[in-house]
Structure 1
Amino acid sequence: MNQQKKSIILLIFLVIVWGINWPISKIALDYAPPLLFAGIRTVIGGLILILIALPKVKELRFKQLWPVYLTSAILSIVFYYGFQTIGLQYVPAGLFSSIVFLQPVLLGIFSWLWLGESMYGLKMAGLLLGFIGVGSLSIGGLNGSISIWGIVLALASALSWALGTVYMKRNAVRVDMLWMTAMQITIGGIILLLSGSATEKWSDITWSGTFIADTMFIAVFVIALGWLIYFKLINEGEAGKVGSFTFLIPLISIGTSVVFLNEQITLNLVIGLLLIVSSIVLVNVRIGRAAKQSV
């Protein structure tokens, strides 16, 4: 199996697990406060990655690299999950998620500015089209009052995710990717857990079978494997190209919500699907042509 096929398989896995994470998390939040839930699942995911990384313990170099680990943890974990958790209290989930998935657009721009990745008309059009597609999927969440504070937090969540991804790639040469992922998730999870412990009650958690199963699934597949695959793909390919596929995540989320949460399929879903597929084609078309010409 060549590298391109492996990357496609990893991308499919990532989009699926990150997509079904939304309805699963929504179910789990019925059993636990948001920050404690975010901290528990993230710390577990980080500890799993630490166990996997132990054979390469010499590559950790914590004394030299802790500032890099801490900065990455704050951007990609603490700010991303923190802004997300708080912001969902102020605006509808659909609107909030559509704003958060402005991230691929920001990532494409930042990768062009700071990573030297190519930017051309079709790519920019594709990124914008993908965001419009996500907006179409989420337009049903516009009912009710809209809080400017919530919108600001959604934008902050998208911005922190994009900056965290760029920061990770800029430092990829200095650090071991496995330890970088393990440390940022573990440190970020500890900060979230401490924040939750200070503002929420552990006694409010219902340790049911459903909550434990959901938490472990998210910790293992969504956080540990998901973030590891995401940063591996970012490190090995164009960040903007990989980021464009994250537009599919809200689509998977809505599809699984239809199955597990009995939500309805709407015209917005169909329109959003067409726009998102078009987005990915536009972002990747020039890369595809270049690959064919080199064969």
Structure 2
Amino acid sequence: MDLKSVAMGLGFAFMWASAFTSTRVIVTAAPPLTALVIRFALSAIIGIAIARAMGQSWRLTRNEWRVLIIFGVAQNALYLGLNWIAMQTVQASAAAIIASMMPLLVAFFGWAWMGERLRPVAVAGLILGVIGVAIVMGVRLQHGLDPFGVVLCLVAVVALTVATLVARGAGGSRNMLMIVGLQMAVGAAVLTLPAIAMEWGREIEWSWTLVLAFLYTVAAPGLAATFIWFLLVNRIGAVRAATFHFLSPIFGVTIAAIFLGERFGLSDIIGACIVAAGILMVQMARLPDATAQPPATARTESRS
């Protein structure tokens, strides 16, 4: 893996983890689904405009439409929608820990649902990940963590896991930024009616902190992180790219502690490190054997 890929992976992991802190700021001051619809709409307009300026087309293949609709509904509407609702009462660091389970759940559901083989190291990583989450959540629940919010976060990460499995292997499109923009538009469309039904008339507590958090969420986690993720997957493959998720629990807890003053006790440090180790073990176990290299022509085509 070259330095550029490492830098992209670190940037993605940081932005992905930081989204929980900026989201926490937003949902404590504004209706979550309404704010999310606005975020998706802005991201869609910006993303599609830039994609068109780059010469990308919205005349996509059937598979590309399938992928963007799946991710638009499962990742944007379900995963983010449920997370934003939950984070009205769930701390950013706790939500980040739960969301970081996604690579572990992908491995587990791949084994249970698709019959994929798990190496012993991956099994050990799954067990470690569960132990780490249990340590963090167990102590947090004793300190007043909202159980219902935790359930919403768990349902959300399962939705993202299913979407990842269903659409796995997709990528390499020359219209990638257009796909990202349209994916945001799907999320906005799906959440518009629930936002109106559940949040009509709710007030917004305006502040510069809210505005800056919203702009950051649109620009960094909304567009930049998603675009970098697709580029990274095309560059080094989905399995290697997903390895960088092991940094998410560590980044998520640290960023929330620095900017929001959230709890940063010994159990959080130990639990986040255990989850990170479990994710890394699972992803390392899934890496293809270095001695089994594909033909040169296949490697060239995968980056075209």
> What is the letter of the counterpart of residue 39 of structure 1?
V
Could you say what secondary structure the match of 1:204 adopts? coil
Query: Structure 1 residues 43, 141: closer, same or farther in 2, change over 3 A?
Result: farther
The answer to whether structure 1 residue 11 and structure 2 residue 13 are counterparts is: no
Q: Offset at 1:152?
A: 4.6
Q: Offset at 1:38?
A: 1.5
Q: Offset at 1:167?
A: 3.3
TM-score by length of 1: 0.80
Of stretches 198-207 and 28-37 in structure 1, the one that deviates more from structure 2 is 198-207
Structure 2, gaps ≥5 residues long: 294-304
The answer to whether structure 1 residue 48 and structure 2 residue 46 are counterparts is: yes
Question: Residue deviations 1:105-130, cap 9 Å, x none?
Answer: 12224556889987412123224423
Q: Offset at 1:44?
A: 1.7
Give the conservation status (yes or no) of the 8 Å contact 2:86–2:152.
yes
Question: Which residue in 1 is equivalent to 2:224?
Answer: 225
Query: Structure 1 residues 145, 11: closer, same or farther in 2, change over 3 A?
Result: closer
Question: Which residue in 1 is equivalent to 2:20?
Answer: 22
Distance 2:261 2:149 in 1: 26
Could you say what secondary structure the match of 1:70 adopts? helix
The answer to whether structure 1 residue 153 and structure 2 residue 147 are counterparts is: no
Question: Which residue in 1 is equivalent to 2:105?
Answer: 106
TM-score by length of 2: 0.78
Give the conservation status (yes or no) of the 8 Å contact 1:14–1:229.
yes
Structure 1, gaps ≥5 residues long: none
Could you say what secondary structure the match of 2:82 adopts? helix
Q: Offset at 1:137?
A: 3.7
CA RMSD of aligned residues (A): 3.5
Question: Which residue in 1 is equivalent to 2:177?
Answer: 178
Q: Offset at 1:235?
A: 4.4
Question: Residue deviations 1:105-160, cap 9 Å, x none?
Answer: 1222455688998741212322442343344344432134865x655533321121
Distance 1:267 1:63 in 2: 50
Of stretches 190-199 and 172-181 in structure 1, the one that deviates more from structure 2 is 172-181
> What is the letter of the counterpart of residue 262 of structure 2?
E
Query: Structure 1 residues 165, 178: closer, same or farther in 2, change over 3 A?
Result: farther
Give the conservation status (yes or no) of the 8 Å contact 2:31–2:204.
yes
Distance 1:30 1:259 in 2: 18
Give the conservation status (yes or no) of the 8 Å contact 1:40–1:193.
no
Could you say what secondary structure the match of 1:246 adopts? helix
Give the conservation status (yes or no) of the 8 Å contact 2:47–2:223.
yes
The answer to whether structure 1 residue 32 and structure 2 residue 30 are counterparts is: yes
Q: Offset at 1:8?
A: 1.4
Question: Which residue in 2 is equivalent to 1:265?
Answer: 264
Question: Residue deviations 1:201-245, cap 9 Å, x none?
Answer: 366123432221111111000110112222333444453443343
Aligned length: 291
Q: Offset at 1:36?
A: 1.0
Distance 2:24 2:185 in 1: 22
Distance 1:181 1:257 in 2: 27
Of stretches 209-218 and 237-246 in structure 1, the one that deviates more from structure 2 is 237-246
Give the conservation status (yes or no) of the 8 Å contact 2:90–2:145.
yes
Distance 1:276 1:199 in 2: 35
- Percent identity over paired residues: 26
Question: Which residue in 2 is equivalent to 1:249?
Answer: 248
